[in-house]
A and B are shown apart, each in its own frame.
Chain A
Amino acid sequence: MAQDVIVHIQRKDSPDGATYRQTFHVPYEDGMNITTVLQRISAQPVTDEGEHTAPVAYDACCLEEVCGACTMVINGHVRQACSALVDNLLKEQPEITLEPMTKFPVVRDLLVDRSRLFNALKRSKAWVSVDGYWDRGSGPLMAPRDQEEAYPLSRCMSCGCCLEACPQYNDKEDFIGPHAVSQIVLYNTVPAGQSIAPERLDVLAGPGGIAACGNAQNCVKVCPKEIPLTTSIAKAGRAATGHAIRRWFRR
């Protein structure tokens, strides 16, 4: 198959610039993915009308679907560019469309600013807190059963797919998002993280916390790491309710 791959790309020159579309013809290569396509366009940024244009801006890092940087909307569906194979995309529709995620501000072209995603993780204290540099030895042991539940949650790569697909994640609500809910569940399960569990539950039971979820369950469907987000959401719902009641009685 020597035919060109036809790619329609939504572009924007600056954060407050106008949005426009350009079409590129890229020579087909065996096993190529969308990051390859974008690299080829960068090497020769000429549109189908023969116009020499600026290379398309995009993000990428690991090239193996573990960093989340290259997340974008491909053929109308959010996913990673580096693991989106052209062969499979052409089975979905004859010409490929690339758009930036809609839930984050566009920096340029396909590059978005995911600060809100990371700020939610900060708000949720999705870490093990340490207050010094000395050797603490090995952490507390975990029961295998807990470990089996916690490990899948640790695979989150902060890509933002779940947020892009979530109807409740938007400018109208300050929702922390399913990724943060799941990280709270993870760090409240891991013994080393439990010392600040109540602070994380405050976030879950607070504004923009778990109650903003409307159970549309898109998050779990689109998560490329197959994280059981809806299970985390249900656990978080129960934990937050219990926490809110206990908090109220302790006043």
Chain B
Amino acid sequence: MAGTITSAESAKEKYFFLLRRLHSLSGLVPVGVFLLWHLIVNATVLAGGDKFQFMVDQIHQLQKAGLLFVVEMAFIFLPLAFHAVYGVVIALSADMNAREYRYGPNIRYTLQRWTGIIAFAFIMFHVWQMHWLGEPFGGSMFKPHDAPASTAAAIQASWWFITFYIVGVTASVYHLSNGIWTALITWGITIGQRAQRISGYFCTAFGVALLLVGMGALWGFTTYHAPAQPDQETAHTAAFVADPQHDSH
């Protein structure tokens, strides 16, 4: 495979195997690990806003060390962007045929591509909303020092947001669980049909459990009410949440 790269096409050829393997790997580590951890941290809101705030404070210790941005970039944003963009390239290379060949694995293969696209759209929206959207658009923005209330306000801002979060989290969880199943084949760990069937059970159980965690987190934030606090900014957000128009009950 040696030789000089003369065009983008031959670069694509030369690095084909490497790119596909990196795509598989990046989906597991760090992106998959991040999703798992992110949903678990978010679900701590079910144990109360203080618990979630504590988790956020722990993470934002990194900020004090000036590392948060670097960690976010190197371990979350860049791998995720690569996985998403190259994933679209892979999805476009398929001639999906689940209509003609309605086999379980083929349907899962097709879903893997669609959920990838949905998760990509959802995550872009999610990052934009939590970082930049802010109040002007009727949403809210994540505030690390006021984590539970600001997250709850962002999610409760519209009925559509809650729906989109349910769809987006479900798609992401499916994509990860099924991705683990295919990665085990891709990396030659589950070789025989029996091994692949059994790993399928484990991946399904993992997916169902993670979906419960994710839905738990969403439930926690849609039903969250900030306790009244003297702090200026918290009071503002809490008032916003308590506004009957935005109240989900």
Task: Render A210-239 as a binary contact track against B, CB cut-off 8 A, 1 for contact.
Answer: 111111111001100000101101111111
Chain B residues, CB < 8 A from A222 = 101
Task: Render B180-193 as a binary contact track against A, CB cut-off 8 A, 1 for contact.
Answer: 00100111111111
Contact A206 B16, beta carbon cutoff 8 Å: yes
Partner of A211, one of B17, B103, B110, B191: B17
| B96-154 interface with A by 8 A CB criterion | 96-97, 100-101, 103, 105-106, 109-110, 112
B95 at the binding interface (Cβ < 8 Å) = yes
Contact A230 B196, beta carbon cutoff 8 Å: yes
How far apart are the CA atoms of A244 and B92 in the complex, in Å?
25
Least CB distance from A96 to B in Å reads 16
Task: Output the nearest chain A residue to B105 by Cβ-Cβ distance.
Answer: A217
Least CB distance from B200 to A in Å reads 11
Q: Knowing A230-B196, A234-B190, A241-B188 touch, does A167 contact B182 (C-beta < 8 A)? A: no
Contact B105 A216, beta carbon cutoff 8 Å: yes
A9 at the binding interface (Cβ < 8 Å) = no
Q: Knowing A230-B193, A234-B185 touch, does A167 contact B97 (C-beta < 8 A)? A: yes
Chain A residues, CB < 8 A from B47 = none
Partner of A168, one of B93, B112, B188: B93
How far apart are the CA atoms of A75 and B92 in the complex, in Å?
27
Contact A205 B191, beta carbon cutoff 8 Å: no
B21 at the binding interface (Cβ < 8 Å) = yes
Chain A residues, CB < 8 A from B105 = 215-218, 221
Contact A207 B13, beta carbon cutoff 8 Å: yes
Residues of A in contact (CB 8 Å), total: 39
Least CB distance from B240 to A in Å reads 45
Chain A residues, CB < 8 A from B65 = none
How far apart are the CA atoms of A105 and B239 in the complex, in Å?
67
Which range holds the interface residue count of chain B?
35 or more
How far apart are the CA atoms of A231 and B189 in the complex, in Å?
11
Least CB distance from B23 to A in Å reads 9
Contact B16 A209, beta carbon cutoff 8 Å: yes
Contact A231 B193, beta carbon cutoff 8 Å: yes
Task: Output the nearest chain B residue to A73 by Cβ-Cβ distance.
Answer: B100
A86 at the binding interface (Cβ < 8 Å) = no
A173 at the binding interface (Cβ < 8 Å) = yes
Contact B193 A228, beta carbon cutoff 8 Å: yes
Contact A172 B92, beta carbon cutoff 8 Å: yes
How far apart are the CA atoms of A241 and B96 in the complex, in Å?
26
Partner of A215, one of B16, B21, B186: B186
Chain A residues, CB < 8 A from B14 = 207
A191 at the binding interface (Cβ < 8 Å) = no
| B1-49 interface with A by 8 A CB criterion | 1, 12-14, 16-18, 20-21
Task: Output the nearest chain B residue to A202 by Cβ-Cβ distance.
Answer: B1
Contact A215 B182, beta carbon cutoff 8 Å: yes
How far apart are the CA atoms of A216 and B14 in the complex, in Å?
25
Contact A205 B101, beta carbon cutoff 8 Å: no
Contact A221 B90, beta carbon cutoff 8 Å: no
Partner of A244, one of B17, B93, B95: B17
Contact B17 A214, beta carbon cutoff 8 Å: no
How far apart are the CA atoms of A170 and B100 in the complex, in Å?
16
How far apart are the CA atoms of A248 and B97 in the complex, in Å?
37
How far apart are the CA atoms of A233 and B185 in the complex, in Å?
8
Contact B21 A173, beta carbon cutoff 8 Å: no
Chain B residues, CB < 8 A from A167 = 94-97, 106, 109-110
Contact B193 A216, beta carbon cutoff 8 Å: no
Interface centre among B17, B105, B110, B185 (most CB of A within 10 A): B17
Contact A238 B188, beta carbon cutoff 8 Å: yes
A186 at the binding interface (Cβ < 8 Å) = no
How far apart are the CA atoms of A205 and B17 in the complex, in Å?
6
How far apart are the CA atoms of A167 and B91 in the complex, in Å?
10
Least CB distance from A53 to B in Å reads 28
| Other 18 A-B pairs with CB < 8 A, given A214-B109, A230-B196 | A76-B100, A167-B94, A168-B94, A172-B92, A202-B1, A207-B12, A207-B17, A209-B16, A212-B16, A215-B105, A215-B186, A217-B105, A231-B191, A234-B185, A234-B190, A238-B187, A238-B188, A239-B188
Residues of B near any A CB (own CB < 8 A): 1, 12-14, 16-18, 20-21, 90, 92-97, 100-101, 103, 105-106, 109-110, 112, 182, 185-193, 196
Residues of A near any B CB (own CB < 8 A): 76-77, 165, 167-170, 172-173, 202, 205-218, 221-222, 228, 230-231, 233-241, 244
Query: What are 8 A-B contacts defined by CB distance under 8 Å?
Result: A77-B101, A170-B95, A173-B93, A202-B1, A206-B1, A207-B17, A217-B103, A217-B106
